[in-house]
Structure 1
Amino acid sequence: MDIIQTEHLVYEYAKRDEEGNITGTSRAIDGVDIDIRQGQFVAVLGHNGSGKSTFAKHLNAILVPTAGTVWVDGKDTKAPEELWNVRQTAGMVFQNPDNQIIGTVVEEDVGFGPENLGVPTDEIWQRVEESLKAVGMLEYRHHSPNKLSGGQKQRVAIAGVVAMEPKCIVLDEPTAMLDPSGRKEVLKTVQELRTKKQVTVILITHYMEEVIDADKIYVMEHGHVVMEGTPREIFSQVDTLKKYRLDVPQVTILADELRKRGLDIPAGILRKEELVEALCRSN
């Protein structure tokens, strides 16, 4: 069953002059069709300005289509009466955790969402504990978020979404402001959540190495989906990815160059271990 489905999705921003008068429109998304099944890990890749973050905002009805339709668990995001259900189904994690964390104590922040949903107090605290445990932050439950590192803050933001028990979590460039160790921390958390909670994960990013474990990848450019497939199918097209200004992992580029020089190496190498194994076999 599809948890997310878009059909001919179009979104246009109004262009304004210095006085605020509308001078025209700019099409940020142009005829996008994407289907995501329950429980999948799907990545949406694209350079800045490709439309990927605008697409993400449609999955939580922060934006609604100019034309076309977005269904979240069978509900049309344009229907005002479905807004509450859509936002309960698809939780959003943004790139700056400081914009999402509002509590002065970690556990209070995580409990804020369930409280707004009218969850009984006993169940709120149970969800807070389970969510913090799921993201590896239980020992920080009484800390102030201000004292945490960027990676820890992002894990708290993810816990706050998990506590609302959505079927789907949309992560809009969640590691863009983090250092490499913080990025690893957050991605490990997301993968563990998929295993423990069976939630659908949609990751919006331009970091190629973050998507090698995805079930499916969509690549966007100028508001269009220009590539789609498994990580191996996408990573086997190094020259095409470079054309779309995406940073291909070093191991994939090296494997591609060795293939071009005649070595018997499979296309779409994703990890160092794979390349070593392929090189050993080709000798």
Structure 2
Amino acid sequence: MGIIEAKKLSHDYQKIGEDGSVESVYRAVDGVDLDVAPGQFIAILGHNGSGKSTLAKHLNAILLPSEGTVYVDGMDTKDMDKLEEIRQTAGMVFQNPDNQIIGTVVDEDVAFGPENMGVPTEEIVKRVENSLKTVGMWEYRSHSPNRLSGGQKQRVAIAGVVAMEPKCIVLDEPTAMLDPVGRKEVIRAAQKLNREKGITIILITHYMEEVVEADRVIVMDQGKILMQGTPREVFSRVEELKEHRLDVPQVTMLAHELRKDGLDLPEGILTIREFADVLGKAGQECQ
């Protein structure tokens, strides 16, 4: 069994009338199967309303299934006796870091989670140092979070989750409110946690460039999984993605358009460096 497993997961939002009756039902997630192995970096893509954030909230029992089942490290999210353990196993980072940061000083904020778990003081001190160093925020440990940039705040929020030593971190559109610099800071921190600490990362995003180094990309549309595979496999399906109002990385689209114009380029180019290498080889062959 994977660290995260969903079986036929569906979630309905109900609109309740003034008299308490159900006026309408909207199915946000519809029959999703998901299996995430320990140590993987998974990216879940989709436009607004695709169901990706609703799915994310099921992965540490913020929401419970209307139908189907979600297991976190073998624990059923509907088992209320396991709720605390589930949320310590799968930590959650949200869009707005201000909603997660509660301390007046950075290191106090990061220590809050372990303190609530009853971790001994000496161990808390180690965890705070290690987690802040991991996300590159150790030098800001005595700063007020209010004086940090958006990207720095989000890295502190991630450090607060890391200090609780989860096996998995779910990042629900963590860069949505950030500028390009802040977005890069947060994605690098997530990649480092995955590579160096072996923490399973599930990144929910609509920024295509953020997922090119993921192990697997899952694309959602209308509450269902539309496609999944490696980034190269998914982004090779440019026309299909466009049909569903989804983008691809800019360099992938550029290569795709040049290919349509007759240039001998492979589908699924993901990075500027890769594009430059392929373009250079094509130029040499033309000489």
Shorter-chain-normalised TM-score: which range? over 0.9
The CA deviation at 1:264 is 1.6
SS at match of 1:181: helix
Paired with 2:258 and 2:227, the residues of 1 have a C-alpha distance of: 24
Q: Unmatched 5+ residue regions in structure 1?
A: none
Matches for 1:66-215 after TM superposition, within 5 Å: 66-215=66-215
Listed one character per residue, the Cα deviations across residues 17-62 of structure 1 (whole Å, up to 9, x for unaligned) are 4666421211110000011100000000000000000000000100
Matches for 1:225-236 after TM superposition, within 5 Å: 225-236=225-236
SS at match of 2:262: coil
Q: Partner of 1:223 in structure 2?
A: 223
Which amino acid letter does the alignment assign opposite residue 258 of structure 1?
L
Q: Partner of 2:45 in structure 1?
A: 45
* Structure 1 length-normalised TM: 0.97
Paired with 2:19 and 2:93, the residues of 1 have a C-alpha distance of: 34
Contact 1:47–1:244 (Cα < 8 Å) also in 2: no
SS at match of 2:3: strand
Paired with 1:226 and 1:20, the residues of 2 have a C-alpha distance of: 35
The CA deviation at 1:266 is 1.0
The CA deviation at 1:276 is 1.7
- Identity percentage of aligned residues: 67
Contact 1:40–1:201 (Cα < 8 Å) also in 2: yes
* Structure 2 length-normalised TM: 0.96
Pick which of 202-211 and 256-265 moved more.
256-265
SS at match of 1:218: strand
Paired with 1:39 and 1:75, the residues of 2 have a C-alpha distance of: 18
Q: Partner of 2:240 in structure 1?
A: 240
Paired with 2:21 and 2:194, the residues of 1 have a C-alpha distance of: 46
The CA deviation at 1:176 is 0.2
Count of residue pairs brought into register by the alignment: 283
Contact 1:208–1:246 (Cα < 8 Å) also in 2: no
Q: Partner of 2:13 in structure 1?
A: 13
Q: Unmatched 5+ residue regions in structure 2?
A: none
The ranges of structure 1 where at least 4 consecutive aligned residues each deviate by more than 6 angstroms after the TM superposition are: none
RMSD after superposition: 1.1
SS at match of 1:2: coil
The CA deviation at 1:241 is 1.5
SS at match of 2:7: strand
Contact 1:13–1:28 (Cα < 8 Å) also in 2: yes
Listed one character per residue, the Cα deviations across residues 60-88 of structure 1 (whole Å, up to 9, x for unaligned) are 10001011010111111111111111101
Which amino acid letter does the alignment assign opposite residue 164 of structure 2?
M
SS at match of 2:32: strand
Paired with 1:12 and 1:203, the residues of 2 have a C-alpha distance of: 23
Contact 1:89–1:166 (Cα < 8 Å) also in 2: yes
